[in-house]
Structure 1
Amino acid sequence: MMRADLPPVIVLGGESNALSIARRLGTMGVRVYGIGVAPFVEQSRHLRPIPLPPGLRTADQESAWPELLLGRATDHLQGAVVLAASDAGISVLARNRARLLDRFLLDVSDTSVQLDMLDKLATYRSAVEAGVPTPRFWRIDGPEDLDRYRDELVFPLIVKPLHSHTYQAAFPGLSKFRVAEDIDRLMAEHGELTEAGLAVMLVEKIEGPDDLLCSYYTYIDDTGASTFDFTKRIVRRHPPNMGIATYHVTDWNPEVRDVALRLFKHVGLRGVANAEFKRDRRDGVLKLIECNARFTAANCLLAAAGIDLARHVYHQVIGRSYPLPSQYRTGLRLLYPTNDLRAFRMLRGAGELSAGEWLRSLAHPQTFPYMDLRDPKPAVVRGLHRVRRAAAQVRGG
């Protein structure tokens, strides 16, 4: 039952994270709306999609979403809480904050810091200033920079766009970055990205399995205080060593907390804060991979472990108390079954994981990002879409 005393929520963008937000808030009686969320998220009984009016391009999120939020189509939602579940959503809220505050409720924010955390180069430079270890990195604007740094470069190198969401818009369905094994491949990858109008940097690739990746989450209130601590690590990704995480597990790692908070406090970040690191086996040091100032794909895992971040942030915005526990469940797992199967096949092909090892790693209670028997339609619709897409690829092949 919807509660009239609770303001509605508008979620900007997102996939499994947007679905988790909708389910967590919807079950407490909040009306949840979505702009630019994944099509399967629109099928949730806890979310109502807000379509773009005719004439606004779906792909042009950073201009279309503000126009929709500030236009007649959302007049009935004035006073709603607006939350970002995507990088484009963070950018929209930061760049239009003053106008949006006349109409909606927004989370606490230092907009310049949030925009810096969207910029991979600015994030790495801030980390260096804060004394937070990073892989080696270089800003590359053109062929002359490649020539200048040629003797410094160490392969393999990650060719990383400064803004992930603009890269994903230009190259949908691909990984978040490119990997170059030698100078020729580097020049080809750099040329393709810059030709698409993307600014890029080069980052030393830290070798080693994906289970060396770990993350810290918190919420930083307007006084600069962290309201909770949460850590997790990754078990596998697809594709291995460069793709999206397919298997996560909660843990408690104060070392990850300490190094992440050093960065957050140095830059003055407010609101949702997440940082990912990878341990470099050459020196044993945790090195920054990226920072997110928004809800991430693991949001449902936080909630299952006892850290209901969506409800916590919502109550912060509306000025009510929703304290989080000082402890949470460790050893809890989040599995993306289909993608993890693909990761296993690739790892087995490389001789890095046997079938028995994979099955033993799965022999635990699991949290799933999409399937919920109380809200099954998103998982069903998403599954049918993937089956149809696979069948089309077979026919096309």
Structure 2
Amino acid sequence: MNKAVILGCNYYIGLSTIRCLGVHGIHTVAVDYNENDRYGSESKYCSERLIAPYYKEDPKGFVRFLIDYAKNQSITPVLIPCHDSYVEVIDEYLEELRECYFIPQTEKGLYTKVMNKETLHSLAMEHGMAVPETVRIDEENYIEKVEEIIKYPCIVKPTDSPTFVATFRRKLFKVYNREELLAAIEKAQKADLEVIVQRIIPGFDDHMYTFDAYLNQDSKVTHWVTCQKHRQYPINFGASVYTEQKYVQELYDIGAPFLEAIGYKGFAEIEFKKDAETGKFYLIEINARITNLNNLLYKVGVNFPYLTYRELTGAPLEPYAVKEDKHRVFWYAYEDMLAIKGYIKTGQLTRKQVFVSLMKKKAYAIWDWSDPKPGITYFKKIAGKFLKKR
């Protein structure tokens, strides 16, 4: 009877969340800030479509909209964000929103701590987690430290990823010398964005792994899955476009104690990179909301949106972990085609390697034969952009 209010359905993360809840008959409410590209809410499992004030331009109005909606319901709804910016707003107004919504996290500020690259770095070091060597640009003689400790090439990385991505349409700057380093920092400063400089952990994109977990209200990991990335877009420093479920016990052994120690609650995805030279896993970032891989996680046996809903509404599911390889991959076909072109052009992959990889069983980002409308809507959008460009 509790409704599930899903924030951000103009992307396939929101779509997969709607489906994961809708298949269990849960009333889903898709909330966006405009009507453009909200193909996720075209799903047959979407029960309500709402337009709220734009959270970036009017965060207070957005929160007031959510509160007013919840107060008009006879039973407390569950609130599920599907984008980092929504998580930031929830964290800022956590106390007010928790009065009328079920939200896993109870500690205000913790979402922000794990999403912010600088505070996450400090938090990880406090708990003995391996993190890439980092230099802050407000340190004395930071350029010399970069050149002595980190060396080139290195990355200039934002502390606030959502704003950086919205500004530059990329996750970071890769620099090869002092001139490029200074130019990248200047770009960030002109945009009023804080950045850090970090060592690149050696290894191809298939050295990127994820530990996806749910922690209950006692901050204990109850469900988890591990995955291995194969391709990203943009290549080397982008989002997953072709990722396989892969059982790696070591990721649980590293990630679970850390999340439990910091008192985390709800869903989290830790991204790791395995050093190609030493085999050591380094923490790269944490996603504090449902992620790109959600449909893959669902297909291999863990429905994170649903188990979140069940625990918060008083009917938790039995603990479960995927401790075998299911040989299924997440595939975002459109961006993977762009990625493949880049990998082949740069000589990082051959056509044969790509062809062989595509033979695996898929968990599609958007397409679903039993729920085709979102996929058709998305295809029309891409086709329209292509024709316009031509």
Give TM-score scaled by structure 1 length: 0.90
Matched residue, 1:249: 244
Alignment partners' CA distance in 2, 1:255 and 1:372: 33
**C-alpha spacing 1:354/1:152, structure 2 compared with 1 (3 Å):** closer
Cα deviations by residue, 1:59-85 (Å, 9 ceiling, x for unpaired):
4374443132134x5543462111121
Which secondary structure state, in structure 2, belongs to the residue aligned with residue 167 of structure 1? helix
- Unaligned ranges ≥5, structure 1: 1-5
Match of 1:355, as an amino acid? R
Matched residue, 1:50: 50
Matches within 5 A, 1:99-118: 99-118=96-115
Matched residue, 2:371: 375
User: For the Cα contact (< 8 Å) 1:62–1:91, is it kept in 2?
Assistant: no
Cα deviations by residue, 1:311-339 (Å, 9 ceiling, x for unpaired):
10000111113225444662211111122
Matched residue, 2:83: 86
User: For the Cα contact (< 8 Å) 2:146–2:197, is it kept in 1?
Assistant: no
User: For the Cα contact (< 8 Å) 1:12–1:34, is it kept in 2?
Assistant: yes
Q: Which residue, out of 156, 161, 164, partners 2:161?
A: 164
- After superposition, the CA RMSD in angstroms is 2.2
Alignment partners' CA distance in 2, 1:218 and 1:154: 34
Matches within 5 A, 1:1-397: 6-13=1-8, 15-36=11-32, 39-47=38-46, 48-52=48-52, 56-57=53-54, 59-60=56-57, 62-71=59-68, 75-77=71-73, 79-141=76-138, 145-146=142-143, 149-171=146-168, 174-327=169-322, 330-394=326-390
Match of 1:39, as an amino acid? R
Alignment partners' CA distance in 2, 1:207 and 1:64: 45
Give TM-score scaled by structure 2 length: 0.91
- Unaligned ranges ≥5, structure 2: none
Alignment partners' CA distance in 1, 2:231 and 2:59: 32
**C-alpha spacing 1:149/1:244, structure 2 compared with 1 (3 Å):** closer
Match of 2:94, as an amino acid? R
Alignment partners' CA distance in 2, 1:278 and 1:68: 40
**C-alpha spacing 1:59/1:110, structure 2 compared with 1 (3 Å):** closer
Alignment partners' CA distance in 1, 2:318 and 2:105: 17
User: For the Cα contact (< 8 Å) 2:247–2:322, is it kept in 1?
Assistant: no
User: For the Cα contact (< 8 Å) 1:141–1:199, is it kept in 2?
Assistant: no
Which secondary structure state, in structure 1, belongs to the residue aligned with residue 281 of structure 2? strand
Deviates more, 1:212-221 or 1:316-325: 316-325
User: For the Cα contact (< 8 Å) 2:329–2:361, is it kept in 1?
Assistant: yes
Alignment partners' CA distance in 2, 1:153 and 1:229: 33
Match of 1:354, as an amino acid? T
Alignment partners' CA distance in 2, 1:17 and 1:41: 8
Alignment partners' CA distance in 1, 2:178 and 2:59: 35
User: For the Cα contact (< 8 Å) 2:79–2:101, is it kept in 1?
Assistant: yes
Deviates more, 1:303-312 or 1:280-289: 280-289
Aligned-residue offset at 1:148: 6.4
**C-alpha spacing 1:287/1:106, structure 2 compared with 1 (3 Å):** same
- Count of aligned pairs between the two proteins: 383
Aligned-residue offset at 1:29: 1.6
User: For the Cα contact (< 8 Å) 1:246–1:337, is it kept in 2?
Assistant: yes
Aligned-residue offset at 1:13: 2.4
Cα deviations by residue, 1:173-220 (Å, 9 ceiling, x for unpaired):
x22112111111111111111211111111111232110011111111
Alignment partners' CA distance in 1, 2:58 and 2:272: 29
Aligned-residue offset at 1:290: 0.6
**C-alpha spacing 1:326/1:127, structure 2 compared with 1 (3 Å):** closer
Alignment partners' CA distance in 1, 2:149 and 2:261: 29
Deviates more, 1:305-314 or 1:85-94: 85-94
